[in-house]
Structure 1
Amino acid sequence: MKGRLPYFLPLLLMIFSCEKKEMQIPHEIDLFAQERREGKAYIMSAQECFDASDLVVSTAGIKLVDSSTGRGRSFFIYKINSGEILKSTRDSVLGFPFQMVSAQRLKLKKEPIYVYLKKLQGYRFIAEEKKLKYQWLKGASVYTVKEED
C-alpha cells in the first residue's frame, strides 16, 4: 500500500484543487442583457415602414390567393386588385391587379390598409410562375388608412 501512495497522491490533490477552483468562479455576467430581447419582434411604425418601402399602396382590394403552410417554409401570396400608389421608387406605372408574397400571414381588415412592399428577394421558383415582383416589408404591420381632415 505504501508503494502505491505516491501514484495516487497527485491524483487526489488534483481532484480536490479543481473542485476548489470551480467554487471560486463567480456567476456569469451577461454584458448584453439590455440588448437581448428574446421572443419580442420589432414592429416598425407607419412612418418607418413608408420610408423603408420601395412601393406603398393604399387599398381595400387585397385578398389571400395561395399559401404554402405545411409544405416547408411558410409564405403567403396576396392579390391586390386595385388601389392608389402613394410611393414608388422602381415603377412609374403599375398595373392592377398584381400579386405579392409575404413571409407572414397578414391580418386583413375590411377598411382600406397601407401595403408596404420591397423588391422581391428570393422565392425564385415561384416568382416567375406567379409573376411576383414585390414582397411584404419585413417588420411592417398592417396599418389602416386614416381619413385626413
Structure 2
Amino acid sequence: MNTLSKEDAIFFLDAIGSTYSPNTTYRFNKRSPYMEYLKDRNSEQCRRFLRVGEVLLVLVKNERKAIVLESRWGIYEDIITLEDLGVRLGLKSNESVRYLQKKCERELAKQLAGHFDLLPKPKKKASEYVDKKELDEDWYCRGLY
C-alpha cells in the first residue's frame, strides 16, 4: 500500500460505496459510483479507479476473489456481467457472484481504512445516546457491527 495515498484510499472507498469512507453517504439500491466512471475509460476518474484497483488486487490472496474483482471492476478488460462471470467460475447464481464481490470489497475497504486510520467513529459517546435503538442504528449504519 506504499504506492497509495490517503486521498487515493478515500477516492476508492467512495467509488465502491464503502461505509468505511469518511465521506459515506447511504445509498440504498443504487449502483456504485465506479460504474459511472467506467463508462468513459478515458476519464481521469476511470484511470484513477483502475490504477488504485490494480494496486489493491495484489492484496487479494484468493485467486477466485481476485478474478471476481478484476472482472467486475474492468481492470484489464471490459466489465464482465454477473451471469457470465458466474458461468466462468461455476457459481449457480448472479447473487453468488455479487455476494463474493461485495465480500471482497468489504475486506479490502477494511484493510484500507485500518491502514490509513479511516475507521468510522460513532457520532456521539455511548452515554450521550437517548436510547439503545438510536445507538444501534448509528453503529449499524457506520459499519461498526
TM (norm. structure 1) is 0.25
More helix by share: 2
More strand by share: 1
Structure possessing the higher radius of gyration over alpha carbons: 1
TM (norm. structure 2) is 0.26
